[in-house]
Structure 1
Amino acid sequence: MIFGRVKPLDAILATAQKKSLHRSLGAIQLTLLGVGAIIGTGIFVLTSEAAQKAGPGMMISFVIAGAVCVVAALCYSEIASMLPVSGSAYTYTYAVMGELLAWMVGWALVLEYAVAASAVSVGWSGYFVGQIKGWFGIDLPVALISGPYVPGGIINLPAVVIALLITGLLMLGTTESARVNAVLVAIKVTALTAFVILALPVMQMDHFEPFAPQGWYGSGGAGIVGAAASIFFAYVGFDAVSTAAEETKNPQRNVPIGLIGSLAICTVFYMLVAAGAIGSPLGSQPVTSALGEWLAPGSAELGARCSTLMAAGQEPLACSKEALAHVLREIGYLNVGNLIGLAAFLALPSVILVMLFGQTRIFFVMSRDGLLPEKLSSIHPKWKTPHVITMITGLAVTFTAAFLPVGKLADIANAGTLFAFMMVAIAVMLLRKRDPNRVRPFRTPALWLVGPLTVIGCVALYFALPFDAKIVLPLWGGIGLALYFAYGYRKSHVGRGIIEVHEADIDVPPQPVPPMPGAPTPGGKQA
């Protein structure tokens, strides 16, 4: 039975204790890790996307997306405190619902992390171009800073360069320490704080009308709910806290604090930033065609309209690739706007690194479980990193960043993320029913309500995405199923009776030996 291929929980926990990573992270460091992963392209760039979809109504969009993340975080907190091991939603699903669904979750996480890294690369490119223009007055040619979705665009060269640089750093073994991450988080939080302090006092309340120009639901992913589906990307990253569970002191207490704390801090910032952007002289009304028709974000029509408006000396918020810096420049704080852009320019590469690191490690664990060729999990003899997977991932990220707009990339990443979050909520509910007596250091309050709300919220946001983003997930899933049945089903370690778990030992490829009948396994069970 495919659904019977489950990693025993006791084996996972025993192996984690036996081979666990050094536990050095506390609640504050975990919260900073979460804030560092969350604050990125979502708020620095996708404010423009939200403005085009919902206008001032994006305030409600932030609330909706944040609410879905809160209930998802509560589910994550319970299962992450029970299973303080690497692998995130992939490992949780493997332990509760079996190999096939674990494969699908892992495959969706690959889509989430890789495409998100591409989106952040494109977001960084916009701020890079703004910095070059703001400080040096140099306008880079459109052909080299935009893909074909913009008239005259060919390739987003800055996005290509940053994606390749981060890939190279990961292959060489350069990962960010908690101290470096704390500095980058401080830069981002300081930038957002400065924006709020300068933008809110000059807010013009008449710019909040009409509040919802596209209503709650509009065509092509427009409207408040459609914007929430895109804005969801601004919160993605809090689940990265759970992947650090093995390196956390007292994870049963600190993982839930890190998850919910980082989400709460970012939600407060996002609401204040959104209010400042809406009330600025730019306003946040969607850009329309010359005939008054709404234009979809990332479309060639919107790109052409923005080019026309910019040639006439206008650059609406929805047209900006560096939304927050652009708002401050319009208010009159030219140098501060440039500094906000500089903060994003310096800090966003750390988000690319976190996303790429998370994706390669998910692929790495799947490879060592036998679901992908074990050659992919080979470790470089000098660099001590999974260089093969890192290189493959980096090239894929670079390609998509070169030719696709940030909004479409964010929506595609959201599709994979929403699926993974939904599966975690289902896993928590199933585990409560199947194993009610297992120790739960953190219990999700009112799970009978929070669990279904997570599932409903994820499904609702998924169906609010644009059609091309929605269709990517089933197509990607179909490719994943074909690969699984062609290779993973036959080569799976669990399917072959090898139940030792190797997530913790990230630097040494496994050399498992099938247990002899009756012999004790690392989990303390009889084979």
Structure 2
Amino acid sequence: MIFGRVKPLDAILATAEKKSLTRTLGALQLTMLGIGAIIGTGIFVLTAEAANKAGPAMMISFVIAAVVCALAALCYSELASMVPVSGSAYTYSYATFGEIVAWIVGWALVLEYAIAASAVSVGWSGYMVKLAEEIFSITIPNTFVKGPFDDDPGLINIPAMLIGLVCMALLIVGTKESARFNAVLVAIKVSALALFLVLALPAIDAANFEPFSPNGFFAKEVIDPITNNMVTVGVAAAAASIFFAYVGFDAVSTAAEETINPQRNIPIGLIGSLGFCTIIYLLVAAGAIGTIGAQPGGSLAQSDDALAFVLREIGQGWAGDLVAIAAGIALPSVILMMMFGQTRIFFVMARDGLLPDVFSRLHPKYGTPHVVTMCTGVFVALFAALFPVGKLADISNSGTLFAFFTVAVGVMILRRTDPTRHRPFRTPMVWLICPLAAAGCVFLFFQLSGYTELMFLGWTVIGLVVYFSYSRSRSHVGRGSIEVHELDPDVPPTSVPPIN
């Protein structure tokens, strides 16, 4: 049943063959692309979350997450180079595992993209609220800047909800980031981190690194002495959370079709961007830990604007305000990127018949998939209004880890079932890298909190109900009609025998 409705890879590739892209990207451009996509809410906000789970040993957590991402990236690159069309892991799974797994992956990608957008929205809100309090010397009550599920609960996070809705409106209008604009945002984010390092590293006190690993390595649940809530702690648990700080690296692998000598330059771009960001992250973590300490339940662990908070604590309030401003400018672009990815996944699923056709309708004026964008925007705003950033990041990671797991396994399956197909990029040492990537994803998934795992399971069950009650009977593949040009609605479908 799992392999009963595999979408022919040749049909998926028709788009790439008809609209091939010019190969212009070298190793440096790919590395910069990856750095721009990676640096975001993870390092600006989740440093506090990692400190609460692992203490100073969160530095090891950054390395673990980076290694798993690097392994998954090498797997992702092979499929991205073979199937350089829209749909990401959903499309790859359709060609490898079949429709039901592709549906589950597409459904799980809602957690990766939409929930990630919610998490970034909450992270942006934390920086903006603290900045307003600093500038105007006021205290804003939690009622309208915290959700009801926060450890220090309020009623609704209005700033997070509003930034999500603003990004939704921009996507409907069709706002696109140019390469130059994106480069400016990358420069702002890197400059903010560089400013933090220049001021924080000289203030390090080695005593703040002790005890180094107060909660041990493996994930375990304990009672938070401050909130009296059950929390998951440990170095591995922090790695599972901080994995969010690296999400976005797949932007490098999806550029395979536009890369000069992809077999050489994609690994350089992937490892280069991940390596650069890991070094920056370790330095930032060392600066945060060494200056004010990072023990679970400490002041850093309780902050909503971790890096700005550290700078204010060491008497560099002006720099803390600049970092907050930089986060306020740069983070909305990450929200846009995540929401854009989500709408395009649902758009492709609707074109395959798995979702109602209304999701594939384009706005008559702007030419954007406005219906699915509005649905995504409301979803993002709702979760941002209600949930804290840590829980949202963990939920997002559960969907991402599942998608990366299927990609790693998919590479091995296609090596067996379609060994002669042209692969512009081939995963090196595939029978070592792919199993390690899959195992790493499984390991990190089970280091997430039990609450997060139950959320993922519940979301999957809901998805299966939708699939069997609606999508399966309306699938174009199941009906024997496959669109061979996924991005051009004017090209008629190619008839093939129905697949049961």
Q: TM-score, normalised by structure 1?
A: 0.88
SS, match of residue 6 in structure 2: coil
Alignment of 1:229-378 (within 5 A): 229-245=240-256, 254-280=265-291, 282-287=292-297, 316-378=299-361
Q: Deviations over 1:163-216 (max 9, x none)?
A: 010000001111212221111011101111221222112211111110111111
SS, match of residue 47 in structure 1: helix
Rate the CA distance shift 1:249–1:376 in 2: closer, same or farther, 3 A. Answer: farther
Cα distance in 2 for partners of 1:269, 1:202 equals 17
The farther-off stretch of 214-223 and 321-330 is 214-223
Deviation at 1:139, TM superposition (A): 2.6
Which AA in structure 1 matches 2:495?
Answer: P
SS, match of residue 335 in structure 2: helix
CA contact (8 A) 2:111 2:397 kept: no
Cα distance in 1 for partners of 2:401, 2:48 equals 22
> Is 1:70 matched up with 2:80?
no
SS, match of residue 176 in structure 2: coil
CA contact (8 A) 2:127 2:327 kept: yes
Rate the CA distance shift 1:7–1:248 in 2: closer, same or farther, 3 A. Answer: farther
Q: Deviations over 1:73-103 (max 9, x none)?
A: 1111222122222211111111111111111
Deviation at 1:142, TM superposition (A): 1.9
Residue equivalent to 2:131: 131
Cα distance in 2 for partners of 1:86, 1:52 equals 38
Rate the CA distance shift 1:495–1:259 in 2: closer, same or farther, 3 A. Answer: farther
Residue equivalent to 2:395: 412
> Is 1:52 matched up with 2:62?
no
Alignment of 1:352-501 (within 5 A): 352-501=335-484
Cα distance in 1 for partners of 2:463, 2:379 equals 16
CA contact (8 A) 1:498 1:512 kept: no
> Is 1:42 matched up with 2:53?
no
SS, match of residue 357 in structure 1: helix
Which AA in structure 2 matches 1:324?
Answer: L
Cα distance in 2 for partners of 1:261, 1:417 equals 21
Q: Deviations over 1:255-302 (max 9, x none)?
A: 54443332222111111111111101x200011xxxxxxxxxxxxxxx
Rate the CA distance shift 1:152–1:70 in 2: closer, same or farther, 3 A. Answer: closer
Q: TM-score, normalised by structure 2?
A: 0.92
Rate the CA distance shift 1:83–1:259 in 2: closer, same or farther, 3 A. Answer: farther
Rate the CA distance shift 1:24–1:382 in 2: closer, same or farther, 3 A. Answer: farther
SS, match of residue 146 in structure 1: coil
SS, match of residue 353 in structure 2: coil
Cα distance in 2 for partners of 1:502, 1:473 equals 33
CA contact (8 A) 1:54 1:212 kept: yes
RMSD of aligned alpha carbons? 2.0
Which AA in structure 2 matches 1:351?
Answer: V
Residue equivalent to 1:523: none
CA contact (8 A) 2:480 2:496 kept: no
Which AA in structure 1 matches 2:192?
Answer: A
Cα distance in 2 for partners of 1:3, 1:516 equals 17
CA contact (8 A) 2:206 2:290 kept: yes
Which AA in structure 2 matches 1:337?
Answer: G
The farther-off stretch of 471-480 and 17-26 is 17-26
Q: Which ranges of structure 2 fall in alignment gaps of 5 or more residues? A: 222-230
Rate the CA distance shift 1:336–1:512 in 2: closer, same or farther, 3 A. Answer: same
SS, match of residue 139 in structure 2: coil
CA contact (8 A) 1:226 1:461 kept: yes
Q: Deviations over 1:365-392 (max 9, x none)?
A: 1110111111111000101000000000
What is the aligned length?
486
Residue equivalent to 1:161: 162
Q: Deviations over 1:304-327 (max 9, x none)?
A: xxxxxxxxxxx7001110001111
Rate the CA distance shift 1:97–1:471 in 2: closer, same or farther, 3 A. Answer: same
CA contact (8 A) 1:418 1:459 kept: yes
SS, match of residue 221 in structure 1: strand
Cα distance in 2 for partners of 1:130, 1:171 equals 30
Residue equivalent to 2:225: none
Deviation at 1:253, TM superposition (A): 5.5
Identity %: 65
Q: Which ranges of structure 1 fall in alignment gaps of 5 or more residues? A: 288-314, 518-527
Cα distance in 2 for partners of 1:492, 1:111 equals 23
CA contact (8 A) 1:377 1:509 kept: no
Which AA in structure 1 matches 2:64?
Answer: I
Residue equivalent to 1:215: 216
CA contact (8 A) 1:378 1:509 kept: no
Deviation at 1:515, TM superposition (A): 3.1
SS, match of residue 355 in structure 1: helix
Rate the CA distance shift 1:17–1:138 in 2: closer, same or farther, 3 A. Answer: farther
Residue equivalent to 2:192: 191
CA contact (8 A) 1:29 1:178 kept: no
Rate the CA distance shift 1:158–1:246 in 2: closer, same or farther, 3 A. Answer: farther
Rate the CA distance shift 1:250–1:13 in 2: closer, same or farther, 3 A. Answer: farther
Which AA in structure 2 matches 1:137?
Answer: S
Cα distance in 2 for partners of 1:25, 1:211 equals 42
Rate the CA distance shift 1:378–1:27 in 2: closer, same or farther, 3 A. Answer: farther
CA contact (8 A) 1:82 1:252 kept: no
Residue equivalent to 1:294: none
Cα distance in 1 for partners of 2:101, 2:271 equals 26
Cα distance in 1 for partners of 2:84, 2:494 equals 25
Cα distance in 2 for partners of 1:92, 1:362 equals 12
Residue equivalent to 2:207: 206
Q: Deviations over 1:445-484 (max 9, x none)?
A: 2221111111111111111111111111111111111111
> Is 1:5 matched up with 2:16?
no
Rate the CA distance shift 1:501–1:128 in 2: closer, same or farther, 3 A. Answer: farther
Cα distance in 2 for partners of 1:189, 1:63 equals 19
The farther-off stretch of 226-235 and 431-440 is 431-440
CA contact (8 A) 1:41 1:234 kept: yes
Cα distance in 1 for partners of 2:59, 2:142 equals 32
Cα distance in 1 for partners of 2:257, 2:429 equals 27
Which AA in structure 2 matches 1:284?
Answer: A
Which AA in structure 1 matches 2:467?
Answer: Y
